[in-house]
């Protein structure tokens, strides 16, 4: 590779790294390191860490996962770090009060699903999937003291969320101060060249650059990205807030939730999730930004492509057909199987119990709430009483706009 070709390739790759970022820290330091790696045929190490604080990854996580995929496509080594140790501390980023730490069993159960879900985006056969308990669980107390000596409390209190809580007199537990130290040390343990994260992680990611220097390593470049707003249109996407779309959701669920977005939020989703793909939608997106175009058609195209990304193209097409038939035309899904259940000892079944057993709701509390909201119907008639009991017979039950079940009580 000539110097001229090398220089062009370096700039091309840096342009890819800049795509969609809020900030790109350390670009000038990365440029010669990238050139040296390309000249030597050695991939850079790009790190992305996520704590398994919930079992499902959602679209908000994929903003940065897609950037990691772009780095993999450039030939670099993606490192997906499962923060099974940090999850037991609890990430205080953006929190107004101390976040309860998860116990080891909850973390393990949540982490079990992560690798499979990440495999929907990354080629995990060409990636490193690591757990930070590998090195943190083995760290001696003296090593932790040494790590904590690298930073001052005054510097930690510069972090926006800590500063606000301290000023307001809201308690900050000592273990919360440990979180950014552990996240920073992960970059030391992995010898990270690049770290990717959301804009709410900026303090922690920059702290890692300093800690790497203290341990004799060149500091990683840091790429921060915008946070995806959830379905409520106000808070960042979060399963705990009930405003998320999980990448493991069924195709019809993903499609239907995207179709519920406001037109303004739809454009944000395209901008943050397209990740350099879907060029065929770029002109339509530009027209919508100018107040022209077809918002409904664009939203349908976005929904179908997101389903295809996490499932496959056939699933995207089927989800689009399902939405038109069931939601727009108010029909019933094709090939809806019938579930046979036994009536109870009294010869009937309570509706709330039945909805839970059929998997139409997560709990009887949710079932009661949906009935009270008028979101449950049986054979096309709305249900008003949560106390309703069903006698033996065949029923078509609908919950919300997209959940159906045929059941026969015997």
Q: What is the pLDDT of residue 152?
A: 81
Give me the residues paired with residue 47 across strands. Answer: 79, 195
> What's the average model confidence in pLDDT over 241-254?
91
E strand or H helix at 47: strand 45-50
Given a cut of 80, is residue 161 above it in pLDDT? Answer: no
Domain presence at residue 189: yes
pLDDT in tens, 391-400: 888 888 989 8
Same domain, 67 and 44: yes
Domain presence at residue 56: yes
**Dmax over Cα atoms in the chain, in whole Å?**
84
Residue 8: CB atoms within 10 Å: 12
Same domain, 53 and 103: yes
> What's the average model confidence in pLDDT over 90-107?
65
Domain CATH number, residue 387? 3.10.290.10
Q: What is the pLDDT of residue 362?
A: 86
Domain presence at residue 173: yes
Domain presence at residue 333: no
Backbone angles phi, psi at 301, to 5 degrees: -65, -40
Same domain, 166 and 270: no
Domain presence at residue 204: yes
Q: Do 370 and 362 meet the contact criterion of CB atoms below 8 Å apart?
A: no
Domain presence at residue 214: yes
216, 239, 262 - which closes a domain: 239
Same domain, 290 and 342: no
- Report the C-alpha gap between 347 and 327 in whole angstroms: 34
| Least confident window among 194-198, 305-309, 336-340 | 336-340
Same domain, 73 and 180: yes
pLDDT in tens, 347-379: 888 999 989 988 888 888 889 999 999 999 887
Tokens read off for 151: 């930073």
Same domain, 211 and 353: no
Domain presence at residue 26: yes
Same domain, 253 and 358: no
Same domain, 30 and 147: yes
Query: For the chain, what is the mean pLDDT?
Result: 89
pLDDT in tens, 260-317: 899 999 999 999 999 889 989 999 999 998 888 899 999 999 999 999 999 999 999 9
Same domain, 235 and 287: no
What total number of domains does the chain contain? 3
Same domain, 120 and 203: yes
Same domain, 207 and 289: no
Same domain, 80 and 145: yes
Domain presence at residue 371: yes
287, 307, 328 - which closes a domain: 328
Per the structure, the complete domain to which residue 405 belongs is given by 338-409
Q: Is the pTM of this model over 0.85?
A: no
Q: Which residue has the tokens 């780095």?
A: 71
């Amino acid at each position: 590779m000539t110097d001229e070709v090398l220089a062009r390739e370096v700039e091309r790759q840096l342009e890819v790294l800049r795509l969609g970022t809020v900030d790109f820290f350390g670009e000038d330091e990365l440029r010669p390191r990238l050139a040296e790696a390309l000249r030597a045929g050695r991939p850079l190490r790009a790190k992305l860490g996520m704590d398994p604080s919930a079992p499902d990854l959602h679209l908000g996580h994929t903003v940065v996962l897609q950037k990691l995929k772009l780095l993999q496509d450039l030939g670099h080594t993606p490192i997906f770090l499962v923060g099974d140790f940090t999850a037991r501390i609890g990430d205080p980023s953006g929190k107004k009060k101390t976040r309860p730490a998860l116990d080891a069993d909850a973390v393990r159960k949540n982490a079990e699903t992560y690798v499979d879900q990440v495999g929907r985006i990354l080629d995990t056969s060409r990636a490193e999937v690591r757990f930070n308990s590998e090195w943190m669980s083995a760290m001696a107390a003296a090593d932790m003291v040494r790590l904590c000596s690298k930073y001052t409390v005054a510097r930690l209190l510069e972090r926006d969320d800590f500063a606000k809580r301290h000023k307001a007199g809201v308690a900050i537990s000592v273990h919360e101060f440990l979180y950014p130290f552990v996240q920073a040390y992960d970059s030391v343990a992995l010898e990270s060249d690049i770290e990717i994260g959301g804009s709410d992680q900026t303090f922690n990611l920059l702290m890692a650059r300093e800690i790497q220097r203290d341990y004799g390593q060149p500091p990683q470049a840091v790429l921060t990205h915008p946070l995806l707003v959830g379905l409520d249109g106000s808070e960042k996407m979060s399963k705990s807030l009930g405003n998320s779309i999980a990448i493991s959701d069924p195709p019809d669920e993903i499609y239907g939730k995207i179709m519920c977005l406001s037109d303004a939020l739809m454009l944000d989703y395209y901008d943050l999730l397209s990740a350099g793909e879907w060029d065929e939608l770029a002109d339509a997106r530009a027209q919508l930004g100018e107040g022209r175009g077809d918002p409904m058609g664009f939203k349908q195209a976005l929904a179908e492509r997101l389903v295809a990304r996490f499932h496959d193209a056939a699933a995207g097409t089927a989800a689009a057909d399902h939405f038109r038939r069931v939601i727009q035309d108010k029909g019933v899904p094709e090939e809806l199987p019938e579930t046979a259940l036994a009536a109870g000892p009294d010869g009937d079944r309570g509706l709330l119990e039945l909805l839970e057993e059929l998997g139409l709701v997560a709990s009887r509390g949710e079932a009661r709430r949906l009935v009270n909201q008028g979101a449950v119907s049986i054979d096309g008639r709305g249900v008003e009483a949560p106390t309703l009991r069903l006698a033996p017979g065949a029923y078509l039950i609908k919950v919300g706009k997209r959940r159906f079940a045929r059941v026969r009580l015997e």
